[in-house]
Amino acid sequence: MIDNDIKRLSRLTAILTQLQTKRIVTSASLAEKFAVSVRTIYRDIRALEQAGVPVLTEEGKGYSLMEGYRIPPVMFTENEANALITAEKLVLKNRDSSLIKEYTEAIHKIKSVLSYATKDKVELLSGRIAVSPAIPDTNTSDSLTRIQNALTAFKVLNITYRSEHKGEKTERKIEPFALYYSLQESWTLIAYCRLRKDYRMFRLDRILKMEELELSFKPHKLTLKDYLADKEKNFRHP
């Protein structure tokens, strides 16, 4: 009985984390994630509500937390902390300086909520991970985080872009759609170009100027999976 209670408490905590992490979660997705029945998820949601958690039910969609409600910082397990520290070493080799800055700030916040024992182990591990010097440290762009913000806010960007082959400079109004990373070219922005009236790929290191406009666009119906499948053999650059 005690084991069942512990399992349920652990599941309730995990469900609460899911609710805080995502805009909407469905009972079916929660049931699948925790390998329980949908009926069990219904009971768990009621238990959270009875405990004072403001869970909102949207008919036909799922559950969400009331805007503004936050739970205390989540304590990371040692394995989770190790994974983040390992990723940090790779991010520090990233060619976009804005990503390095934001990830470093995030890591500092994460370290602040670790237990003392886990902090000691994380520091030990951090000193025992190295990335090959064959991967250059050169930062070739600093616009990734601004592009991410425009992408999620559906804002049009006005950019000055230098083409790869002729080196020509053009001014474009683009609608950010997705980001693509490759070891050869680092970060590339996939966007709908209003000048070419089609989707194009823009290397971040070739974007000379960028300005977020007060223009919004409707979310693209195209999915990234479909786009990549269509362009797999012949990516087109501006």
* pLDDT of 1 above 50: no
Token reading at 101: 């800055």
**Average pLDDT of the segment spanning 8-24:** 83
The pLDDT, as a whole number, for residue 66 is: 87
- Structure-token match 């009972």, residue found: 27
**CATH label of the domain that carries residue 216:** 2.30.30.520
Q: Would you say residue 236 lies in a domain?
A: no
Q: What are phi and psi of 176, to 5 degrees?
A: -55, 130
Full residue range of the structural domain in which residue 184 is found: 144-231
Among 65, 12, 6, residue whose Cα is nearest residue 34: 12
Q: Would you say residue 88 lies in a domain?
A: yes
For the chain, the domain total comes to 3
Residues 218 and 148 in one domain: yes
Per DSSP, what are the bridge partners of residue 191? 176, 200
3-class secondary-structure state, position 202: strand
What pTM was estimated for this model as a whole?
0.68
Residues 160 and 83 in one domain: no
Residues 166 and 209 in one domain: yes
**CATH label of the domain that carries residue 14:** 1.10.10.10
Residue 28 and residue 39 in contact, taking contact as beta carbons nearer than 8 Å: no
Neighbours of 48 (CB within 10 A): 19
Residue 185 banded pLDDT, cuts 50, 70, 90: low
pLDDT tens digits along 56-70? 998 888 999 888 777
Q: Would you say residue 93 lies in a domain?
A: yes
CA angle 42, 67, 69 (to 5 degrees): 75
pLDDT tens digits along 119-138? 888 889 888 888 887 777 77
Lowest pLDDT segment from 63-77, 97-111, 180-194, 215-229: 63-77
Residues 47 and 90 in one domain: no
Residues 161 and 202 in one domain: yes
The pLDDT, as a whole number, for residue 139 is: 75
Q: Would you say residue 199 lies in a domain?
A: yes
Residues 116 and 164 in one domain: no
**Average pLDDT of the segment spanning 183-208:** 90
